[in-house]
Structure 1
Amino acid sequence: MNSELITYELEGPVALIGLNRPDKRNAINEAVIDALRAAVQRAGEEADVGVLFGHGSVFCAGLDLAEAIERLTGQFEQPRKPRRHSWHLVFDMIERGPIPWVAALHGAVIGGGLELAAATHVRVADESAFFGLPEARRGIFVGGGGTVRVQRIIGYTVMADMMLTGRLLNATEGEREHIVRYVVPKGQALAHAKSLAAKIAQNTPDANWRITNVLPRINDLSHDDGLFMEDLNSNTQRSPEAVQRLREFVEGRAAPLMARDK
């Protein structure tokens, strides 16, 4: 699947989804969200891991401000009934859907672009990446789940500083604040993200689902409830594939652990 706004490619068990508005710095509007929703849903059905990246010189510069002006001035017809924010819906499909996602980040990762990246599970940045939340400078507020996802990643004080002062974080600072887990030389983010995705795809689908869906929910629970939920998930019946992997390890037939990534 290739559209004007989103590209889609399947490489073995890995789905590659690219934001494709390079002339608009991959700014997100409703048409992009609609195309992204279809691509993410397709990836969940036919891939074991997804990789999200941006075509052109940046990952994503955030909200399409021209569309925002149209909304604020009443040029968009309002739905008759309240409905869930489209960004929230699609980003949740990424964060708590059936497969893990790796983000390959370069250039601007700003506003809604940072909110989108925060919905993925593993984030790789090259040395050109920088991160910001400039909404206050535009007289608006974050609206793509940043108050939840970004704040849980970097904490209130860092997020408040970025929003109040307009401060931009470079790739090294982004790693320090846990926005990304890997920083690689310029131009290598996508290749590294694909390598990580291939490793993740070697896990069982059930294990990946528990890591991306059960683990974050446990983090939201109290101490006792978290341990109870852990016990439930540790003692549920495992798939035949999981049993076979355990048997291979016990019998000394399992492949050695992979080398540590840097």
Structure 2
Amino acid sequence: MSYENILIEKEEGIAIITINRPAKLNALNIATIDELHRALKELKDDKDTRVLIITGSGEKAFVAGADISEFADFSVKQGKRLSEKGQDSLFDYIENYNKPVIAAINGFALGGGLELAMACHFRLANDHARMGLPEVSLGVIPGYGGTQRLPQLIGKGRAMEMILTGGMIGTEQALSYGLINHMVAQEQLIPTCKEIAHKIMKNSPVAVATAIKAVNVGYSKKGFDTEIDLFGESFGTEDFKEGTAAFLEKRKAKFPGK
């Protein structure tokens, strides 16, 4: 199967999926989300693949957010559908995947990029990575699971601060928060992921798949459904129209507060 926006490399039971849109800092557009889903679906049935690693091309960005230009003019209904479809086909799909998926964060992981990393079963980052959920600066909220997975990973208070300020944190802070498992130099990022993958592959693939399922049972789907609804409602606000327009026009937003 051929892809325009991702690359797949296989070796010794490991599949490395690289999001390859360097000119856009690997931003997630609808086509890339679809390609990732198709690749994951194909690898799910590949008995030779035991562990997956997701990363971004280059050293600047893992995924620097969603492609804002695609949904700036969406209605409430379209916004809700965007969130619902994305969660179902990619973010929830990864979280409930039957093989371990490791995020190798090689730079900026913002908005949908951080949400993608959080959907993976665990995360490693290079020492200059930056992470955040800046959606409120656009008049919208995280819509790909960010309001649910971030509190689960780092606690409610820290998650609230990150989401409400829209600010970024560095790798050391992400490590202390528990957002990532390991911080390594860029040249050691993929090798360290592979090292962990080989440790996992020594174990029963059936037991590993079952363990993933068992851990995920502890987290409610209701919160994600609420996020989808509220994300969609954000598309009907004047703040959203101003926030996205300001972003695309590269100016500071002046939110009317309605």
1: CA distance, partners of 2:147 / 2:53 = 24
The equivalences for 1:1-262 within 5 A come to 1-46=1-46, 47-56=49-58, 57-72=60-75, 85-89=84-88, 90-218=90-218
TM-score (norm. length: structure 1): 0.76
| Structure of larger gyration radius | 1
C-alpha spacing 1:132/1:104, structure 2 compared with 1 (3 Å): same
* Aligned-pair identity (%): 34
2: CA distance, partners of 1:83 / 1:53 = 23
Kindly tell me the number of residue pairs found equivalent between the two proteins: 216
Comparing both chains, which one has the higher relative contact order based on Cα–Cα distances under 8 Å and sequence gaps of 6 or more? 2
Q: Is the 8 A contact 1:63 1:112 kept in 2?
A: yes
* 2:74 maps to amino acid: R
Q: Is the 8 A contact 2:130 2:169 kept in 1?
A: yes
2: CA distance, partners of 1:203 / 1:2 = 32
2: CA distance, partners of 1:219 / 1:88 = 15
1: CA distance, partners of 2:135 / 2:78 = 23
Q: Is the 8 A contact 2:96 2:216 kept in 1?
A: no
Q: Is the 8 A contact 1:33 1:86 kept in 2?
A: no
C-alpha spacing 1:95/1:219, structure 2 compared with 1 (3 Å): closer
- Give unpaired runs (5+ residues) of structure 2: 221-258
Per the TM alignment, residue 45 of structure 1 is displaced from its structure 2 partner at its CA by 1.3
3-state secondary structure, aligned to 1:125: strand
Task: Give the RMSD, CA atoms, in angstroms.
Answer: 2.2
Per the TM alignment, residue 219 of structure 1 is displaced from its structure 2 partner at its CA by 6.3
